[in-house]
Each structure stands twice: as structure tokens, then as C-alpha cells.
Amino acid sequence: MLSPDILTIAPKICLGKCLNMSLANNRTGELWRSFMPEIGSIGDRKNKEIISAQVYESDYFIQFDPNRTFEKWAAVELENNPSNIDDRYSLFEIPGGLYAVFHYKGLSTDTSIFQYIYGEYLPASEFELDNRPHFEVLGDRYKNNDPESEEYIYIPIKRKQ
């Protein structure tokens, strides 16, 4: 299956909206419906990409429960850290560090890529999850609900000890 690029990234300052949700009570559609109509009004964007990020508790994958909540972000990366922000949005920082980056092509509703990453790739690799945000970069080749859609999946990693 997919072999990731292993990259060290710089921190990212993002601006967006956040909702708490679980896999059993997935509110992703609600989050994006509230964010996308306003995205054009955000100035100082670093690029045209959008970021979908998840922030999990450190033991989320150890004690997996589909009802357990996490933070889900719909955001854009900023060029600079703003001095003032519109109260509709919140600042969100993705710390720099080592990431396994998977170039994924297919439906965003197909969870088999994540089953592969967490169930096959990571256990067989020299890496384990690190406690930083997981995120996807949705660029110009991203097409919501299209089998030809492409995105980059960033999984925070560290070398196994």
C-alpha cells in the first residue's frame, strides 16, 4: 500500500473553527459548513490550502473508543501570527516535528487509509505516534466526495524506543 514521506515540518500558525466530536457522533460536515462560506474573508493566508486537523488525548489510540471525543479543526495556515483576530475564529498552532505524510487519492469517507496507517504501517515501521495534532492538507486536487480527490495526511511520529 502507500509508503509515506518522512518529513520534519516547521510549526504552522492556523486560523479556523473547532468542534468537539467523536467518531460515533461525527460533526465534520457541520464544522465545514460553518467555515467554508467565510474562508474568503480571512486575510494573510499563507496559501490556498485548507487544513483539517484532529487533536487527540495522549492515550486516545491506546484506549480506543468510538464515543470518545476529540477536537476537530477546519482551518487555514497564516503567513504571520495576527495581532487581532475576528471573534468567529480561533488561533491554532500545529507544532513542528516529524511526520509521516501519506499522499492519499480517493473518497474522504473511505476510512481504510487510516486502518492501514494505524493498523499496519505504524506497527511494522520504526515509528510510533507522537502526541501532536494529526492533520490533512486539502489543496487544489482535493474534491469533496470524489474518488479522484487527493490530499496529504500528516501523522505525527517519533522513533520507537
pLDDT digits (tens, 9 = 90+) for 121-148: 999 999 999 999 999 999 889 888 888 9
Spatial separation of the C-alpha atoms in residues 106 and 138, rounded to whole Å: 12
| Spatial separation of the C-alpha atoms in residues 47 and 25, rounded to whole Å | 31
Answer whether residue 16 shows pLDDT above 70.
yes
Instruction: Identify the CATH assignment for 5-159 out of 3.40.50.300, 1.10.150.20, 3.30.1330.10, 3.20.80.10.
Output: 3.20.80.10
- Residue with cell string 460553518: 34
Task: Say what the pTM is.
Answer: 0.93
pLDDT at 1: 60
User: Sign of the C-alpha dihedral, residues 133, 134, 138, 144?
Assistant: negative
The label of the residue with cell 480571512 reads: 42
Greatest CA separation for the chain: 45
Rounded to whole angstroms, how far apart are CA atoms 42 and 83? 14
- Percent of the chain exceeding pLDDT 90 equals 70
Amino acid present at 112: S
